[in-house]
Amino acid sequence: MTGPELATLATEVNGGDSIGDTLLFQLLNIARTIVEKRRPWMLLRRTDTSKTVQASSVSAWQTGIDLSTITRFARFYDSDVAPIRLFDGNRTYVDYWLKPFEDRLRYIDRPNTACFDENTKTLYLNGNIQFAGTLYITHIIDSGDVENSDASSWAFPSYAHPLLAFMAVAINKGGIDFDDINARMAPNNQAVAQSIMGMLEKEDNEKQLSSIRNTDPYQDRDDDGYRSGAINI
């Protein structure tokens, strides 16, 4: 759904009563943010390769790498895989693991570590940089505001878009325009919203499980039962 289509749906969910555009789109984006912050959704994961570094014979801990230019960068994706990898473009890569920025002096000479300044969105690699290459930065994005424009739409599957309308109306009615009719409608609307959320989470669970299974080093073997070193799910 486009932004205007979501606004129309919200009005219909609201019993035909319109909500001012400014307020409505604020509520729609509050709902969007609530959903997107629930988990590291697969469809919000990205790997940026726009940053390059040069080899250095001294610690690079004071050489800042600006990540504010990465489109809608929200946070690093935290998993068992290093969020930052330096790749030489051939077959060699080096992992970098994030350490607390407030304790960065402890790590200035430690290879394979990095510190990130959340305030300025600046990344600092620690230790000597072994070779010139490209940084592969795995991160979660913010999908961007839903706006009152035909060019604006939510990044999630279309079947989930009504969720934003239900949530926006619930926020408005529950905190701004509450009455007895809304009190009777609320449980049903909440049940529909929960059903949509359940479908989204189930789909994402399947995608994440598939991703984990694909790291199984024994996935091409026909062995049955527990296998040491495998992803046994």
Give pLDDT tens digits for 160-170.
Answer: 999 999 999 98
Average pLDDT value for residue range 33-50: 95
The alpha carbon of residue 162 and the mean position of all alpha carbons in its chain are separated, in whole angstroms, by: 20
Strands, E assignment, 100-185: 113-117, 122-125, 133-141
In tens, the pLDDT along 165-195 reads 999 998 887 654 545 445 444 556 677 788 8
Beta strands 133-141 and 73-76, pairing class: antiparallel
Provide the phi-psi class of 183: left if phi over 0, else alpha when psi is between -120 and 50, else beta: alpha
pLDDT at 39 (0 to 100): 93
In tens, the pLDDT along 79-100 reads 889 999 999 999 999 999 999 9
State the Cα–Cα distance between residues 211 and 157, nearest whole angstrom.
19
Q: Rounding to the nearest 10 degrees, give the CA dihedral for residues 16, 169, 162, 191.
A: -110
The neighbouring-strand residues paired with 23 are: none
pLDDT at 151 over 80: yes
Beta strands 73-76 and 64-66, pairing class: unpaired
Please give the structure tokens belonging to residue 207: 């995608």
State the Cα–Cα distance between residues 72 and 190, nearest whole angstrom.
30
Picking from 109, 24, 132, the residue whose alpha carbon sits closest to that of residue 60 is 109
